[in-house]
């Protein structure tokens, strides 16, 4: 079920680093909105890599990826450039204000739940995410949960809210 965003929550406060209004972008073309954790997180890096990998399909479907992150624009640029998507639209949200908006509802998770969890350990070691994407220092809120939203015409069409940090959204299914 689609959720229409109240204009005061959308156009007034959610802007990309280049100044574009997020929900105005979704009226121009569909948006795959990806909320990341901190850049030291293997799964955050994996999300960037996954979206970079499907970029040709997103482009074919005219879906614009937009990432929301907690880090500085400079650190973000380095990570996105590493995965060859340095020109992707990004939203710098160091206070996690957008994560907390009721329309997105991305909460925080206790360290024991987010790190000492069999599913997370499975993702890190068995799936090999830590070996492919590394792990770094936590420089922002290490307990912030990620999520992915498909926006079209100013509305949220589909969403995926992570239950644990190693969840793997099916990005193409979200935009189907």
Whether the full predicted model's pTM is greater than 0.85, yes or no, is no
**pLDDT < 50 regions, the chain:** 1, 4-5, 7-11, 123-129, 133
C-alpha distance across the termini of the chain, in Å: 14
- For residue 98, give the 3-state DSSP assignment: helix
Pairing between β-strand 155-161 and β-strand 3-4 as defined by DSSP bridges: antiparallel
DSSP symbol at 21:
B
pLDDT at 7: 44
Q: Token pair 């105005």 is at which residue?
A: 24
All structural domains of the chain: 3-174 (3.40.30.10)
């Amino acid at each position: 079920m689609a959720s229409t965003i109240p204009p005061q929550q959308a156009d007034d406060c959610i802007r990309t680093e280049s100044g574009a209004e997020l929900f105005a972008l979704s009226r121009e073309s569909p948006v795959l909105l990806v909320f990341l954790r901190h850049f030291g997180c293997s799964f955050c890096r994996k999300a960037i890599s996954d979206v970079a990998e499907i970029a040709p399909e997103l482009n074919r479907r005219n879906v614009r990826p937009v990432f929301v992150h907690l880090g500085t624009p400079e650190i973000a640029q380095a990570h996105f450039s590493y995965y060859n998507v340095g020109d992707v639209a990004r939203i710098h949200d160091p206070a996690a204000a957008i994560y907390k908006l009721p329309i997105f509802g991305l909460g925080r998770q206790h360290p024991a739940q987010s790190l000492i969890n069999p599913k997370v350990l499975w993702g890190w070691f068995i799936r090999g995410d830590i070996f492919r994407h590394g792990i770094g220092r936590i420089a922002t809120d290490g307990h912030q949960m990620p999520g992915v939203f498909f926006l079209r015409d100013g509305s949220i069409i589909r969403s995926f809210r992570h239950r644990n940090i190693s969840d793997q959204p099916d990005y193409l299914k979200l935009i189907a």
